[in-house]
């Protein structure tokens, strides 16, 4: 079966990109996103999709503007509306995580502007394998080891069942081009070291390690799905969610094991628009310390301009400054 046919019949595609939606494809010009663009454009008439594309210029190296022009030319040939956005120059010096957040914010803004209900990203199976190894090296927990989810809100990843090499082979067989980002081979970056040094060494000892890690990620995602359901039920039943934050009753929270307490704090932050991955282990330990031993009024700053404050027998996860505003300060 041709790769384009496998793309269309993969389980879950209708949930990722339902019929009749407008989808904004994030296209850097690399092999993965180029394949994504061509696959979406080819399938669009039969699925009723309205496909548009966007290239986000990170300005992290010379030549990124040329990449955007390449994507614009491909879109012109496909008849796909094209959008381009450049991140602020100062973003180039940011960390990889900060750059990723800035890119996602730019994509979300563009999606709202063109009324796209889905933003399609070009992550594929090799990205999942590399991410698993990177997070293992960093000591990630259950959430981190779930790999890359097929969907996060309106962001979807319909190439996760495909490998990097087969996507490029599919493009090459059809005479379709792409651009190579030289920073992907920059050994100063952990992902490049994992891709070019760590994984080749591991494959010599365990040739099927890629398949094993992919299956492990799927199993962990299933377990996390169950736990997410439990977390949601707990918060719906016991917490109070309002415009100013989420209030978790201290006694009920302390009745749960520490691992559940940390998850519930993360999920409360997630309800306020901050990804759970931004609340690291050290941050959670500080919050739980305040919960167990802190005096009323103690607060811990959280990412995303949030804070966790212990007040009146409750742990309040809220936006910073709300207590001062409420008290008229």
The CATH 3.40.50.620 portion of the chain extends over 3-124+148-180
Q: What is the pLDDT of residue 186?
A: 86
Structure tokens at 313: 């027998």
- The beta-strand segments (E) located in 233-276 are 240-242, 245-249
What fold does the segment set 239-326 form as a domain?
3.30.465
Residue 151: helix, strand or coil by DSSP?
strand
Which of 93-107, 185-199, 237-251, 283-297 has the lowest average pLDDT? 93-107
How far is it, in rounded angstroms, from Cα 249 to Cα 136? 33
How far is it, in rounded angstroms, from Cα 193 to Cα 134? 10
Residue with tokens 């990203």: 121
For the chain, the residue count is: 329
How far is it, in rounded angstroms, from Cα 290 to Cα 267? 18
- Percentage above 90 pLDDT, the chain: 73
Structure tokens at 187: 């050994």
Q: What is the pLDDT of residue 326?
A: 43
Does residue 281 carry a pLDDT above 50? yes
Does residue 129 carry a pLDDT above 60? yes
Which of 54-63, 99-108, 128-137, 231-240 has the lowest average pLDDT? 54-63
DSSP of 106-126, one letter per residue? Answer: HHHHHHHHTT-SEEE---BHH
- Confidence band, pLDDT 50/70/90 cuts, at residue 327: very low
By C-alpha distance, which of 124, 125, 123 is closest to 213?
Answer: 125
Structure tokens at 123: 């992550």
Q: What is the pLDDT of residue 91?
A: 56
In the sheet that holds 22-26, the strands lie side by side as 82-86, 50-57, 22-26, 118-120, 155-156, 151-152
The CATH 3.30.465.60 portion of the chain extends over 239-326
Write the class of the CATH domain 3-124+148-180: alpha beta
By C-alpha distance, which of 167, 271, 166 is closest to 228?
Answer: 271
Does residue 241 carry a pLDDT above 70? yes
Does residue 317 carry a pLDDT above 60? yes
pLDDT digits (tens, 9 = 90+) for 29-51: 999 999 999 999 999 999 999 99
How far is it, in rounded angstroms, from Cα 231 to Cα 237? 10
pLDDT digits (tens, 9 = 90+) for 137-165: 998 888 889 999 999 999 999 999 999 99
Are the C-beta atoms of residues 43 and 2 closer than 8 Å to each other? Answer: no
pLDDT digits (tens, 9 = 90+) for 47-81: 999 999 999 987 777 777 889 999 999 999 999 99
**Cα-Cα-Cα-Cα dihedral sign, residues 11, 71, 27, 30:** positive
Residue with tokens 């879109």: 75
Does residue 328 carry a pLDDT above 70? no
How far is it, in rounded angstroms, from Cα 201 to Cα 268? 40
DSSP state of 196: I
Q: What is the pLDDT of residue 305?
A: 92
């Amino acid at each position: 079966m041709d790769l384009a046919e496998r793309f269309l019949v993969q389980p879950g595609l209708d949930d990722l990109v339902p019929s009749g939606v407008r989808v904004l494809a994030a296209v850097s010009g690399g092999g993965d996103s180029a394949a994504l663009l061509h696959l979406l454009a080819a399938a669009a008439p039969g699925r009723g999709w309205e496909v548009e594309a966007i290239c986000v210029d990170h300005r992290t190296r010379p030549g990124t503007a040329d990449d955007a022009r390449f994507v614009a030319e491909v879109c012109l040939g496909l008849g796909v509306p094209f959008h381009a956005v450049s991140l602020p120059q100062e973003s180039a010096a940011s960390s990889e995580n900060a750059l990723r957040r800035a890119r996602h914010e730019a994509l979300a803004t563009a999606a709202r502007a063109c009324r796209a209900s889905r933003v399609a990203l070009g992550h594929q199976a090799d990205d999942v394998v590399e991410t698993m190894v990177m997070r293992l090296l960093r000591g990630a927990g259950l959430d981190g080891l779930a790999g890359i989810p097929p969907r996060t809100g309106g962001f979807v990843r319909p190439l996760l069942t495909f490998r990097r090499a087969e996507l490029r082979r599919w493009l090459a067989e059809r005479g379709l081009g792409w651009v190579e980002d030289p920073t992907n081979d920059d050994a100063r970056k952990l992902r490049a070291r994992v891709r070019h040094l760590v994984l080749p060494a591991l494959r010599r000892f365990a040739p099927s390690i890629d398949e094993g890690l992919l299956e492990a990620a799927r199993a962990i995602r299933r377990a996390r799905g169950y736990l997410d359901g439990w977390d949601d039920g707990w918060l719906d039943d016991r917490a109070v969610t309002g415009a100013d934050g989420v209030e978790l009753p201290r006694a009920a929270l302390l009745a749960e094991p520490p691992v559940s307490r940390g998850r519930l704090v993360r999920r409360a932050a997630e309800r306020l628009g901050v990804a759970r991955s931004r609340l690291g282990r050290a941050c959670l330990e500080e919050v739980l310390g305040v919960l167990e031993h802190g005096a009323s009024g103690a607060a811990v700053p959280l990412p995303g301009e949030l804070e966790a404050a212990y007040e009146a027998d409750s742990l309040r996860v809220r936006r910073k400054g709300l207590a001062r505003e409420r008290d008229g300060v």
